[in-house]
Amino acid sequence: MEQGNETHLAEFILLGFSEDPALQPLVFGLFLSMYLVTVAGNLLIVLAILSDPHLHTPMYFFLSNLSLVDICFTSTTVPKMLVNIQTQSQAISYAGCITQMFFILFTGLDDFLLAVMAYDRFVAICHPLHYTVIMNPQLCVQLVLVSWVISVLHALLHSLLVLRLSFCTHLEIPHFFCELNQVVHTACSDTFLNNVVIYITVMLLGGAPLAGILYSYSRIISSIHAISSAQGKYKAVSTCASHLSVVSLFYCTITGVYLSAHSAPNSASTATASVMYTVVTPMLNPFIYSLRNTDMKRALERFLRCETIK
């Protein structure tokens, strides 16, 4: 066959977690439940923030964007896997794989949003008197817009680099979605440029937000230590607790996936580890913010009460 034609007609095989037919109903039910909880939980967060004027603040503006990203990100991977299980097919078209990979690369947007939220907490605790001036609506919109633009350009860059590759016969991906490294690994043409760009973007787009988060929290901790009253310290810590929990969950799961990928790059264990940041983390975020945040609890109660009355 001609290599160029093969690239456009190729179908990738997503091996998923297990080929055992007996486990497929269990996997289907588990992921369907997690997906519904993820979408419902994040959608409730967004609707509660939009409906409650008390939550029209920078922190909740960033949180609503994070919830929207989690909905879109999860909807990119899980529904296709559920369809494949239901139809007993592991195939995904070449165009579908590239499209899925493009939207999956928006994971980087979570990094930027978490960094922006850390900066918001830094200003709130370290410069409380200037908070409304610094975190004005224009700056908040600009921060979110820049995060979106960088993430789109990042996803577009990798997608275009993958489009230049040729794929031969070995098109099995030991994953339940088209993960960038796994797709590049199946190519039969030179992938040196792809690998270099992957490493550079991981260092820049992964390291920069993490550095910003660490710097913000180092300043926050210093400011908290300077507070004399125990009540003041508790209030300052409580404003960061939810965000810090989400940051810890996100980066711990990403680290776990990275380590598992290096220890067994073609193993199904990588797919299992990826479930943590693709499904579990987006599912837990609404619970973390609603259970540890009094304002969010009240907003959710008011929203659900209004909907029940309607």
pLDDT in tens, 96-125: 999 999 988 877 789 999 999 999 999 999
Cα dihedral 260, 261, 266, 272 sign: positive
List the one residue out of 111, 112, 120 whose CA is nearest residue 139. Answer: 120
Share of the chain above pLDDT 90, in %: 44
Give every CB contact of residue 310 below 8 A, 6+ residues apart in sequence: none
Q: How confident is the model at residue 260 (pLDDT cuts 50, 70, 90)?
A: low
Q: Which helix (H) or strand (E) holds 166?
A: none
The DSSP output letter for 292 is S
Mean residue pLDDT of the chain comes to 86
Most confident of 138-152, 158-172, 220-234: 138-152
Per-residue pLDDT at 18: 66
Q: What angle do CA 303, 125, 245 make, to 5 degrees?
A: 60
Structure tokens given for 34: 């997690």
Answer yes or no: is pLDDT of 7 > 60: no
Give CA–CA dist 166/157, Å, rounded: 17
Half-sphere exposure of 121 (CA within 13 A, CB side): 31
pLDDT band at 301; cut points 50, 70, 90 = confident
Q: How far apart are CA 288 and CA 144, in angstroms?
A: 22
Show the beta-strand stretches assigned E in the chain: 11-14, 91-93, 172-173
Question: Can you tell me which residue has the tokens 């817009």?
Answer: 145
23 has pLDDT over 70: yes
pTM: 0.88
Residue 283 amino acid letter: M
CATH code of residue 251: 1.20.1070.10
Mean pLDDT of all residues in 265-270: 59
Q: What is the mean pLDDT of residues 259-283?
A: 70
| Main-chain phi, psi angles of 173, to 5 degrees | -115, 115
Q: Is 50 exceeded by the pLDDT of residue 300?
A: yes
Q: Which domain holds residue 117?
A: 3-309
pLDDT at 267: 56
Confidence of residue 236 (pLDDT cuts 50, 70, 90): confident
pLDDT greater than 50 at residue 1: no
Number of domains in the chain: 1
Whole-number pLDDT of residue 263: 58
Q: What is the pLDDT of residue 69?
A: 92
Nearest to 289, CA basis, from 11, 55, 9, 2: 55
Distance of alpha carbon 26 from alpha carbon 67, whole angstroms: 27
Other CB atoms within a 10 A radius of the CB of residue 264 amount to 13
Query: Which pLDDT tens digit goes with each residue over 64-80?
Result: 999 999 999 899 999 99
What is the residue type of 270? T
Q: Look at residue 261 in the predicted model and tell me its pLDDT.
A: 61
- pLDDT band, very low/low/confident/very high, at 45 (cuts 50, 70, 90): very high
| Packing angle, helices 230-263 and 268-275, rounded to 10 | 160
Q: What is the pLDDT, as a whole number, of residue 60?
A: 92
DSSP characters over 236-249 = HHHHHHHHHHHHHH
- Cα–Cα distances (Å) from 191 to 99, 105, 162, 195, in that order, read 19, 18, 9, 6
Cα 284 from Cα 282, distance rounded (Å)? 6
Residue type, position 55, single letter: L
> Is residue 292 pLDDT above 70, yes or no?
no
pLDDT band, very low/low/confident/very high, at 170 (cuts 50, 70, 90): low
Enter the tokens of residue 288: 């973390």
